[in-house]
């Protein structure tokens, strides 16, 4: 073997740097005829610049990712904290006080069960996919109990972060908070008559299976309805090459919850006394408007995490613009809906109805949820206007025509306003915004050329059709799943509380019912010592209330004897 | 009215004391810093040149640490509620915020401290891990509350002549739920933000993971307490659920950044069970703790600190603290050298000794002068009417009429029932 000749350049440079490979590199790049040391110095200076550029790029990339993480986390806190609290208080205020403690408990509890269910199964079914692979279009199949999140979060490479931005810890927290919203919607619809066990089971079921599947269809990059499913087909989505536009979940969260609420309220049946023998509706007012208003404002506050946070990124200019626009649209829609409801009700009955206005504002929030990123502010105002009309008419239809007792109008609010909200981008999605948020891919051409935007802007209608498809499949899937679920519980007589218990109020202890359960049970049990409000009791939320719940902290054995 | 005033006052008293002396005792590093107590930055003197917790002269550090101090100061309020002398209360909240808590914080969180993990010379070359303060804050506040409750004695009527406990229910479940969910929301600032930074990949990871483990532990604790209550008493207990959730949070506060999600669930479940057990023990010892602040903060805080020594993961420790020494992780992971667990236990004992000693002396002095408890007549009437100028509620109770929307719901139409309902009669 002959040794390659070493040039005088390499030899001199080697004397300086003591590394043959480095010497060869330097000599290839520079002409070392003048002086080897000048060569080496030039090389070193250039290398230093490259490295510091890398470093600052790395640092910038890290800060950008961290900013997004902080933003998503904070949005999740907003969705969970104020929104969950708001809905809890709203439910409590909108029903009779003798059941308020029960509904408070259900609301807190579904946050807990949702966390466990979504952790074990839900997140995997929504977004789980093996690294560098795709899951199937129907359901996710990876990352059960955070097995993959733990993995993906342990390989720090800021410039090539892999799945961390979309599958990291913060992602789970935000998705969980959305799931908690969908789960808790039903608590209001079945309030005052649902058994605790059924509710526990329901919240686990919907958060670990029903909701995640819908989320997978619409939001996972692998989902069949998703506007983000652009990997395989040359850059455009699977359905009509468009995919459904559901930015923060009018369909995924609100229609899912609303449809489940419809199934629940319908199958469980109306509260005793709600409809009299001739089918006339009796009014059953809530016990505290203060709580309803407080809940509404908290929900509105938390919505600023729900809608803008759905962008999942704020660290770029375009991301920041989208987030801000969403916040503006959200505000306008809620405000318009509230005002419209106010005036419509005044026109109907010459009253300024506080509670209805609250619901109106919420309807505005729900309906802008799908299109908040892609409509203009004046369109958001129209959306709110439509939401108010939709809400009032659907509330009337559900109660008077369908004869379904829904104490907090959850069905009208979430299902019907959600439906309106889902349709809305099909009407008024602006082309420029659509391409900004979902990418500039039409039928092998640009969004504008393909008409992939709202029909009132001159679009070709594929967006509208996709929205209809999404609405239809959500109703079908959730309706079937939750219908079957509630029906099974009903058949097993585990869905609804005993008549006596419902009349006494759910806050009074369960022991009352056991003593008089159709005569089938054994001798009346000893009334257990139980606090009205302390470890081990479920009794009234209030010490004294004017309703017919009777006393608390004491057994009411005489109840069944009347 | 009384307890509302006390809790608001805690934040204020903590603010002033923290500024004057507390922050200095906690984080001050003077010319000759020592391991026991800080010695600089009193009244924020020469603030711009001293280390403040994550840098020098950073105002956010003072503010953030104040929030933690106020938390520790307000925990005992629940344990001594309804019968505590207001002067004693004012005194101890200043004492805790100005001296007792800052010393513990110095040990665990100042680089000069003898106990903590991120210190210049950590204990046993390992150090005690307490991320957002299960030990430093919750054990401190909880033990102070427990000692106060034990020394001030139970509320009148709490234990009958045979020594059996008499139930004394609270007056509004809505407020309890409101408080719990607000605490849940706020805990996301307490735990994840204790990383004090998010601008690198590793830190973003730690912050995100802390938020996840916090959530799971709270959820698991709540469900555990709920099911435990159902198994024992065949009823669905709302207060039990809320307490369980908070217990889960207290316990995970020490280790949210270094345990895996499944470990967080275990932490929460055991915290709930342990809490229920301690509540029972307290009743057997005839100690009246109206909010169960002792079992919740002291008991589950202690469990959280201990749990860290069991299931802290090496990789996560490296991410959060940038320390890569071998084998100094949780004892349940294979080949651990157990030093972390030892440090956790030493930390628990040190906190118990310090807080127990100082607060016993402090409350003892007040008790000796008869200034610890309010007179019985005042207690019967209720502190609001006698000391605070009237009830918190218009009309005397939180009675709510079955009002239609649009009516004035705050106008009460009836008087409240008496506050003490003997159960077995």
* Contact present, A258 and A415 (Cβ < 8 Å): yes
**The two three-digit tokens of residue B325, written as one number:** 């020494």
Looking at the structure, tell me whether residues A487 and A503 fall in a common domain: no
Chain-centroid distance, C-alpha B79? 11
Give the structural domain span for A64.
Answer: 54-491
Nearest to B212 among A173, A286, A528 (CB): A173
Question: Is A85 in Cβ contact with B182 (below 8 Å)?
Answer: yes
**In the listed set A459, A491, A523, which residue is the last one of a domain according to the structure?**
A491
* pLDDT tens, position by position, A269-311: 999 888 888 888 888 888 888 889 999 999 999 999 999 999 9
Question: In 3D, which of A64, A561, A124 has the Cα closest to residue A313?
Answer: A64
Nearest chain B alpha carbon to A293: B405
Measured between alpha carbons, how far is A505 from A98 in angstroms, rounded to an integer?
A: 5
**The two three-digit tokens of residue B423, written as one number:** 């159960």
Question: Is B212 in Cβ contact with A146 (below 8 Å)?
Answer: yes
Measured between alpha carbons, how far is A222 from B231 in angstroms, rounded to an integer?
A: 43
Nearest to B235 among A97, A288, A537 (CB): A537
A444 compared with B236, residue with greater pLDDT: B236
**The two three-digit tokens of residue B240, written as one number:** 């039990």
CA separation, residue B150 to residues A401, A499, B77, B226 (Å): 62, 46, 13, 28
* Contact present, B357 and B366 (Cβ < 8 Å): no
Within 8 A by CB and 6+ apart from A114, the residues are A122, A176, A179, A180, A183, A184, A203, A204, A207, B219
Predicted pLDDT of residue B197: 87
* Contact present, A506 and A550 (Cβ < 8 Å): no
Per-residue exposure over A410-426, b if at least 16 CB sit within 10 Å of its own CB, e if not = bbbbbbbbbbbbbbbbb
CA separation, residue A282 to residues A182, A275, A505, B405 (Å): 29, 6, 18, 15
* pLDDT tens, position by position, A406-458: 999 999 999 999 999 999 999 999 988 888 888 766 555 677 777 778 888 88
Question: Is A108 in Cβ contact with B180 (below 8 Å)?
Answer: yes
User: Which 3 state secondary structure label does DSSP give B128?
Assistant: strand
* Contact present, B285 and B294 (Cβ < 8 Å): no
Q: What is the mean pLDDT of residues B87-100?
A: 92
Question: In 3D, which of B274, B267, B228 has the Cα closest to residue B251?
Answer: B267
A104 within some domain: yes
Measured between alpha carbons, how far is A302 from A307 in angstroms, rounded to an integer?
A: 9
SS (H, E, C) A203-246: HHHHHHHHHHHHHHHHHCCCCCCECCCCCCCCCCCCCCCCCECC
Question: Is A530 in Cβ contact with B174 (below 8 Å)?
Answer: no
Looking at the structure, tell me whether residues A343 and A456 fall in a common domain: yes
Question: Is A354 in Cβ contact with B177 (below 8 Å)?
Answer: no
User: How close, in Å, is residue A400 to chain B by CA atoms?
Assistant: 20
Measured between alpha carbons, how far is A11 from A99 in angstroms, rounded to an integer?
A: 91
A34 within some domain: no
Question: Is A176 in Cβ contact with B173 (below 8 Å)?
Answer: no
Question: Is A543 in Cβ contact with B198 (below 8 Å)?
Answer: no
**The two three-digit tokens of residue A540, written as one number:** 């009234």
Nearest to A351 among B262, B406, B419 (CB): B406
**Residues on chain A touching B260 (C-beta within 8 angstroms):** 146, 150
User: Which 3 state secondary structure label does DSSP give A404?
Assistant: coil
Measured between alpha carbons, how far is A9 from A102 in angstroms, rounded to an integer?
A: 86
Indicate the number of domains in chain A: 2
Residue from A513, A531, A551 whose CB has the most chain B CBs within 10 Å, to mutate = A531
Within 217-236 of B, beta carbons closer than 8 Å to A belong to: 218-220, 222-223, 226, 229, 232-236
Residue from B196, B200, B204 whose CB has the most chain A CBs within 10 Å, to mutate = B204
A17 within some domain: no
Query: DSSP of A129-170, one letter per residue?
Result: --TTS---SS---S-GGGHHHHHHTT---TTS-TTHHHHSHH
A287 compared with A78, residue with greater pLDDT: A78
Looking at the structure, tell me whether residues A286 and A363 fall in a common domain: yes
Per-residue exposure over A235-246, b if at least 16 CB sit within 10 Å of its own CB, e if not = ebbbbbbbbbbb
* Contact present, A483 and A460 (Cβ < 8 Å): no
CA angle in degrees (0–180, nearest 5) for A456-A458-A464: 60
A173 within some domain: yes
Question: Is B423 in Cβ contact with A529 (below 8 Å)?
Answer: yes
Measured between alpha carbons, how far is B72 from B15 in angstroms, rounded to an integer?
A: 12
Query: DSSP of B69-116, one letter per residue?
Result: HHHHHHTHHHHTTTTB-HHHHHHHHHHIIIIIHHHHHHHHHSTT-SSB
pLDDT confidence bin for A368, thresholds 50/70/90: very high
User: Which 3 state secondary structure label does DSSP give B353?
Assistant: helix
Round the average pLDDT of chain B to a whole number and report it.
86
H/E segment holding residue B215: helix B201-233
**In the listed set A471, A491, A511, which residue is the last one of a domain according to the structure?**
A491
Nearest chain A alpha carbon to B232: A536
Q: Give pTM, 2 decimals.
A: 0.80
Residue from B169, B395, B396 whose CB has the most chain A CBs within 10 Å, to mutate = B169
CA angle in degrees (0–180, nearest 5) for B105-B107-B109: 55
Phi, psi of A433 (to 5 degrees): -75, -40
Measured between alpha carbons, how far is A524 from A533 in angstroms, rounded to an integer?
A: 23
CA dihedral angle for residue A92, residue A98, residue A103, residue A108, rounded to 10 degrees: 90
pLDDT confidence bin for B385, thresholds 50/70/90: confident
Question: Is B409 in Cβ contact with A546 (below 8 Å)?
Answer: no
For residue A3, the 8-state DSSP code is: P
Round the average pLDDT of chain A to a whole number and report it.
82
Phi, psi of A418 (to 5 degrees): -65, -40
Nearest chain A alpha carbon to B401: A546
Nearest to B200 among A66, A172, A544 (CB): A66
A419 within some domain: yes
- What sign for the dihedral angle of Cα A462, A468, A473, A478? positive
**The two three-digit tokens of residue B259, written as one number:** 């345990």
Looking at the structure, tell me whether residues A480 and A415 fall in a common domain: yes
**The two three-digit tokens of residue A51, written as one number:** 């490295």
**Residue A142 CA neighbour count, 13 Å, CB half:** 19
Residue from B168, B172, B173, B187 whose CB has the most chain A CBs within 10 Å, to mutate = B173
**The two three-digit tokens of residue A2, written as one number:** 């002959």
B213 compared with A457, residue with greater pLDDT: B213
Looking at the structure, tell me whether residues A324 and A390 fall in a common domain: yes
Question: Is A168 in Cβ contact with B398 (below 8 Å)?
Answer: no
B13 compared with A562, residue with greater pLDDT: B13
A196 within some domain: yes
Measured between alpha carbons, how far is A414 from B410 in angstroms, rounded to an integer?
A: 30
Asked if residue A521 has pLDDT above 70, the reply is no
Residue from A76, A537, A547 whose CB has the most chain B CBs within 10 Å, to mutate = A537
Measured between alpha carbons, how far is A162 from B201 in angstroms, rounded to an integer?
A: 12
Measured between alpha carbons, how far is A367 from A379 in angstroms, rounded to an integer?
A: 12
**Residues on chain A touching B179 (C-beta within 8 angstroms):** none
Chain-centroid distance, C-alpha A395? 23
CA angle in degrees (0–180, nearest 5) for B344-B350-B354: 150
Question: In 3D, which of B46, B45, B21, B187 has the Cα closest to residue B101?
Answer: B21
Looking at the structure, tell me whether residues A72 and A108 fall in a common domain: yes
Predicted pLDDT of residue A14: 82
User: How close, in Å, is residue A36 to chain B by CA atoms?
Assistant: 40
Question: In 3D, which of B153, B19, B130 has the Cα closest to residue B80?
Answer: B153
Measured between alpha carbons, how far is B226 from B236 in angstroms, rounded to an integer?
A: 7
Q: Comparing B33-37, B203-207, B292-296, B379-383, which segment has the lowest mean pLDDT?
A: B379-383
Looking at the structure, tell me whether residues A449 and A343 fall in a common domain: yes
**Residues on chain A touching B239 (C-beta within 8 angstroms):** 533-535, 537
Burial of B330 (0-12, 13-18, 19+ CB in 10 A): buried
**The two three-digit tokens of residue B99, written as one number:** 């001296």
Question: Is B172 in Cβ contact with A150 (below 8 Å)?
Answer: no
Interface size A-B, in CB pairs within 8 Å, comes to: 284
**Residues on chain A touching B246 (C-beta within 8 angstroms):** none
Question: In 3D, which of A126, A183, A108, A209 has the Cα closest to residue B219?
Answer: A108
User: How close, in Å, is residue A211 to chain B by CA atoms?
Assistant: 19
Looking at the structure, tell me whether residues A432 and A550 fall in a common domain: no
Identify the CATH number of the domain in which residue A141 sits: 1.10.3430.10
Nearest to B405 among A85, A355, A551 (CB): A355
**The two three-digit tokens of residue B195, written as one number:** 């990383």
Q: Which residue has the tokens 């850059």?
A: A235
Asked if residue B270 has pLDDT above 80, the reply is yes
Question: Is A531 in Cβ contact with B222 (below 8 Å)?
Answer: no
**The two three-digit tokens of residue B126, written as one number:** 């390992």
Q: Which residue has the tokens 């990291």?
A: A168
Predicted pLDDT of residue A515: 33
Question: In 3D, which of A303, A164, A204 has the Cα closest to residue A247?
Answer: A303
Measured between alpha carbons, how far is B254 from B308 in angstroms, rounded to an integer?
A: 7
Within 8 A by CB and 6+ apart from B322, the residues are none
**In the listed set A462, A491, A520, which residue is the last one of a domain according to the structure?**
A491
* Contact present, B296 and B246 (Cβ < 8 Å): yes
- What sign for the dihedral angle of Cα A405, A406, A411, A417? positive
H/E segment holding residue B274: helix B261-284
What percent of chain A lies above the pLDDT cut of 70?
A: 85
Looking at the structure, tell me whether residues A340 and A198 fall in a common domain: yes
What percent of chain A lies above the pLDDT cut of 90?
A: 48
Predicted pLDDT of residue A525: 40
* pLDDT tens, position by position, A325-353: 999 999 999 999 999 999 999 999 888 88
Q: What is the mean pLDDT of residues B150-161?
A: 88
* Contact present, A539 and A509 (Cβ < 8 Å): yes
Within 166-205 of B, beta carbons closer than 8 Å to A belong to: 167-174, 177-178, 180-182, 184-186, 188-189, 192, 198-205
Q: Is B281 on the interface with A (CB under 8 A)?
A: no
Question: Is B265 in Cβ contact with A85 (below 8 Å)?
Answer: no
A13 within some domain: no
Looking at the structure, tell me whether residues A544 and A446 fall in a common domain: no
For residue B122, the 8-state DSSP code is: -
* pLDDT tens, position by position, B113-126: 999 998 888 889 89
A439 within some domain: yes
Question: Is A285 in Cβ contact with B403 (below 8 Å)?
Answer: yes
Q: What is the mean pLDDT of residues B354-369?
A: 95
Nearest chain B alpha carbon to A159: B201
Measured between alpha carbons, how far is A197 from A490 in angstroms, rounded to an integer?
A: 12
Looking at the structure, tell me whether residues A256 and A275 fall in a common domain: yes
User: How close, in Å, is residue A33 to chain B by CA atoms?
Assistant: 45
Q: Is B245 on the interface with A (CB under 8 A)?
A: yes
B404 compared with A148, residue with greater pLDDT: A148
pLDDT confidence bin for B345, thresholds 50/70/90: very high
Looking at the structure, tell me whether residues A541 and A468 fall in a common domain: no
């Amino acid at each position: 073997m002959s040794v390659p000749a070493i040039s005088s350049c390499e030899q001199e440079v080697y004397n300086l740097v003591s590394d043959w490979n480095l010497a060869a590199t330097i000599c290839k790049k520079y002409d070392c005829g003048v002086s080897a040391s000048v060569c080496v110095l030039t090389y070193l200076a250039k290398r230093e610049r490259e490295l510091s550029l890398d470093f600052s790029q790395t640092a910038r990339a890290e800060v950008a990712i961290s900013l997004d993480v902080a933003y998503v986390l904070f949005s999740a806190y907003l969705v969970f904290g104020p929104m969950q609290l708001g809905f809890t208080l709203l439910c409590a205020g909108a029903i009779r006080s003798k059941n308020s403690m029960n509904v408070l408990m259900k609301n807190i509890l579904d946050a807990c069960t949702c966390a466990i269910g979504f952790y074990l199964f839900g997140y995997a079914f929504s977004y789980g996919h093996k690294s560098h692979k795709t899951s199937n279009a129907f359901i996710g199949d990876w990352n059960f109990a955070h097995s993959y999140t733990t993995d993906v979060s342990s390989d720090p490479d800021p410039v090539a972060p892999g799945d961390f931005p979309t599958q990291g810890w913060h992602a789970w927290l935000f998705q969980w908070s959305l799931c908690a919203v969908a789960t808790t919607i039903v608590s209001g619809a079945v309030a005052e008559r649902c058994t605790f066990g059924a509710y526990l089971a329901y919240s686990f079921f919907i958060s670990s299976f029903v909701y995640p599947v819908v989320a997978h269809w619409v939001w996972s990059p692998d989902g069949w309805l998703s506007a983000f499913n652009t990997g395989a087909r040359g850059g455009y989505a699977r359905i009509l090459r468009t995919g459904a536009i559901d930015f923060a979940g009018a369909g995924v969260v609100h229609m899912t919850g609303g449809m489940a609420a419809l199934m629940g309220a319908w199958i469980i049946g109306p509260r005793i006394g709600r409809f009299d023998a001739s089918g006339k509706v009796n009014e059953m007012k809530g016990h505290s408007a203060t709580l309803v208003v407080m809940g509404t404002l908290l929900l509105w506050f938390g919505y600023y995490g729900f809608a803008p946070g759905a962008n999942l990124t704020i660290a770029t200019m375009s991301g920041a613009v989208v987030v801000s626009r969403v916040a503006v649209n959200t505000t306008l829609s809620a405000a318009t809906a509230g005002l419209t409801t106010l005036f419509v009700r005044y026109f109907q009955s010459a009253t300024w109805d506080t509670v209805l206005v609250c619901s109106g504002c919420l309807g505005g929030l729900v309906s802008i949820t799908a299109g908040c990123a892609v409509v203009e502010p004046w369109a958001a105002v129209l959306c709110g206007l439509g939401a108010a009309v939709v809400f009032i008419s659907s509330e009337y239809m559900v109660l008077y025509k369908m004869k379904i007792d829904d104490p907090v109008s959850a069905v009208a609010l979430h299902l019907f306003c959600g439906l309106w909200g889902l349709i809305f981008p099909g009407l008024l999605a602006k082309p420029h915004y659509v391409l900004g948020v979902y990418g500039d891919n039409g039928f092998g051409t640009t969004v504008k050329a393909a008409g992939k935007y709202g029909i009132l802007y001159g679009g070709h209608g594929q967006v509208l059709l996709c929205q209809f498809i999404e609405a239809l499949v959500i109703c079908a899937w959730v309706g079937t799943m939750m219908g079957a679920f509630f029906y099974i519980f009903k058949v097993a007589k585990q869905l609804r509380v005993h008549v006596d218990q419902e009349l006494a109020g759910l806050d009074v202890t369960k022991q009352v019912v056991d003593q008089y359960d159709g005569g089938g049970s054994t001798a009346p049990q000893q009334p257990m010592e139980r606090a009205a409000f302390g470890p081990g009791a479920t009794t009234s939320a209030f010490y004294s209330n004017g309703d017919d719940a009777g006393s608390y902290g004491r057994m009411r054995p005489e109840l069944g004897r009347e | 009215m009384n307890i509302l005033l006390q809790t608001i006052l805690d934040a204020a008293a903590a603010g002033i004391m923290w500024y004057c002396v507390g922050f200095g005792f906690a984080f001050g590093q003077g010319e000759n810093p020592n391991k026991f107590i800080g010695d600089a930055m009193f009244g924020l003197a020469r603030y711009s040149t001293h280390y403040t917790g994550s840098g020098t002269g950073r105002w956010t550090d003072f503010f953030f640490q104040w929030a933690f101090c106020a938390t520790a100061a307000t925990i005992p309020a629940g344990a001594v509620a309804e019968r505590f002398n207001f002067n004693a209360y004012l005194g101890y909240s200043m004492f805790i915020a100005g001296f007792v808590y800052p010393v513990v914080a110095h040990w665990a969180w100042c680089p000069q401290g003898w106990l903590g993990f991120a210190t210049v010379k950590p204990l046993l070359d390992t150090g005690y891990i307490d991320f957002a303060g299960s030990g430093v804050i919750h054990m401190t506040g909880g033990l102070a509350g427990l000692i106060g409750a034990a020394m001030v004695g139970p509320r009148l009527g709490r234990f009958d002549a045979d020594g059996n406990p008499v139930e004394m229910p609270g007056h509004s479940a809505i407020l309890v739920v409101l408080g719990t969910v607000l605490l849940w929301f706020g805990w996301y600032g307490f735990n994840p933000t204790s990383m004090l930074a998010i601008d690198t990949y590793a830190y973003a990871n730690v912050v995100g993971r802390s938020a996840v483990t916090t959530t799971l532990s709270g959820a698991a604790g709540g469900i555990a307490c709920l099911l435990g209550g159902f198994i024992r008493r065949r009823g669905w207990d709302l207060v039990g659920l809320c307490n369980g959730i908070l217990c889960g949070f207290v316990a995970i506060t020490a280790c949210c950044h270094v345990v895996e999600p499944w470990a967080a669930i275990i932490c929460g479940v055991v915290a709930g069970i342990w809490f229920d057990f301690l509540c029972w023990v307290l009743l057997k010892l005839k100690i009246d703790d109206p909010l169960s602040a002792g079992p919740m903060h002291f008991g589950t805080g202690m469990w959280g600190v201990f749990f860290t020594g069991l299931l802290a993961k090496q990789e996560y420790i490296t991410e959060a603290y940038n320390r890569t020494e071998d084998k100094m992780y949780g004892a349940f992971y294979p080949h651990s050298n157990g030093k972390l667990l030892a440090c956790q236990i030493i930390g628990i004992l040190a906190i118990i000794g310090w807080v127990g000693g100082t607060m016993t002396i402090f409350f003892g002095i007040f008790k000796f002068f008869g200034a610890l408890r309010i007179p019985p007549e005042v207690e019967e009437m209720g502190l609001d009417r006698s000391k605070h100028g009237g009830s918190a509620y218009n009309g005397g109770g939180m009675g709510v009429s079955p009002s239609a929307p649009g009516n004035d719901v705050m106008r009460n139409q009836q008087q409240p029932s008496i506050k003490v309902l003997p159960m077995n009669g």
